[in-house]
Amino acid sequence: MRTRKVLLVIGFLVTWTYATYYLLLRQTGIHTSRHQSLQAYKLNSQVRDANLQSHHLAKNVFEFVKLKYLEKQPPPVASTPQISIVAAEISAELPEQHVAKAATARIPTKTYLANGEPVFPVVVFACNRVSVKKCIDNLVQYRPSVEQFPIIVSQDCGDEPTKEAILSYGKQVTLIEQPDLSDITVLPKEKKFKGYYKIARHYGWALNTTFAVGFEFVIIVEDDLNVAPDFFEYFLGTHKLLKQDPSLWCVSAWNDNGKAAVVDAAQPELLYRTDFFPGLGWMLTKDLWAELSVKWPKSFWDDWIRHPAQRKDRVCIRPEISRTRTFGKIGVSNGLFFDKYLKHIKLSEDFVQFTKINMSYLLKDNYDNTFLRRVYTYPIVTYDELRRNLIRIEGPVRIQYTTREQYKRTTKMLGLMDDFKSGVPRTAYHGIVSFYYNKRRVHLAPKANWKGYELSWS
């Protein structure tokens, strides 16, 4: 009812403005003296200004009504970043923010080498942490070719000490600066998540800027990541899969369940398909960015990308042993999961020649015909039998789960991450989470007649 009254007031204001303008035009339309004509001209200008002010007033009232309406939407179930999909959708309804034009970026323009191999720009996202030097030092140390792997540091926030740290590398890296440092209007209940809005804006600008050069692939690295010695080799050996298999949409260097106690250190070359988007050092193609950029969210981009509407049953490649490790406990997420999981992730120390390995086993048909078939031939055991080494047979085993509660209880006992994003457990493929425990390969798996992920499990 209050909204209807506001709209009636707006209608009255607009009608009064135009009626006044019409009457004044008629009065000044008669040929008068030169002095009177000048007075009429000034009066017309004043009327036009009043008309413009009325228009702005009406627009502001409309925006007020919109925000009041949005604030009355039912609140998300959780108070943590699990509300991300809802927040991203609501944020799209807020008034558009002012976006400054991007300054011309000094990004290398060579997209292919003379031998026909693609150039892989490594985009490092930075803000206000001078510790970005740890990340850049690592990248520069292990980079096999400056020409094939140009390092582009994209900085948001405008922090001068961080900028100076980046510029200290001279020609070894290229600095581009996110030009829009304006504040972002968010709903009152989203103010504590404003940092996630700025991150999404930064990602959108930097990826648009980089892909605009014409690169086929981009590797994304956050400023709080260390990389393994074979980080670049890993992407060199896997990038063709993204072109060969339409069911793949990213290659990630990260294993969410990559703690030393649950990975096989003797198999650093082992890779998997996963339905879960890992992030934290990952590669995407220009075709995928062309698809995502037109609907890029205003917040929580990583949870948004995991939603079925974006994922579309596509999967990522991830390693047994992580090729990245985060050292950034302090940040927008306030160390979420850091002490319990992230700081324990094992970073691979071996150099695997991925470019010499036949990666065809990771293509969908080959993988499903081997991995999925084998998992369901392994014997079912209990956690207690596994923990106490009561299993008499050698080789891989399977622990079965049927409910969300059973899954979470089992993962907590095993020391695995127990959460879901859009119904998908971390590292899962067809619901199967593979890990290493007590010198044995273990698959935490649903029943063989699994019907798919349930959004309600998140």
Residue extents of the structural domains in the chain: 122-327+334-345, 365-445
What pLDDT does 310 receive? 98
Tokens 């506001």 correspond to 6
Fold exhibited by the domain 365-445: 2,3-Dihydroxybiphenyl 1,2-Dioxygenase; domain 1 (3.10.180)
Counting as low any pLDDT under 70, the low residues of the chain are: 1-105, 329-337
How many Å apart are CA 137 and CA 130, to the nearest integer?
12
pLDDT, tens only, 97-142: 444 444 444 899 999 999 999 999 999 999 999 999 999 999 999 9
Query: CA–CA distance from 177 to each of 107, 170, 209, 220 (Å)?
Result: 12, 15, 11, 16
Q: CA angle, 279 as apex, 278 and 283 as ends, to 5°?
A: 115
DSSP designation for 372: I
Task: Give catalytic residue positions.
Answer: 302
Specify the CATH number of the domain 122-327+334-345: 3.90.550.10
* Under 8 Å between Cβ of 399 and 382: yes
Q: Is the pTM here over 0.85, yes or no?
A: no
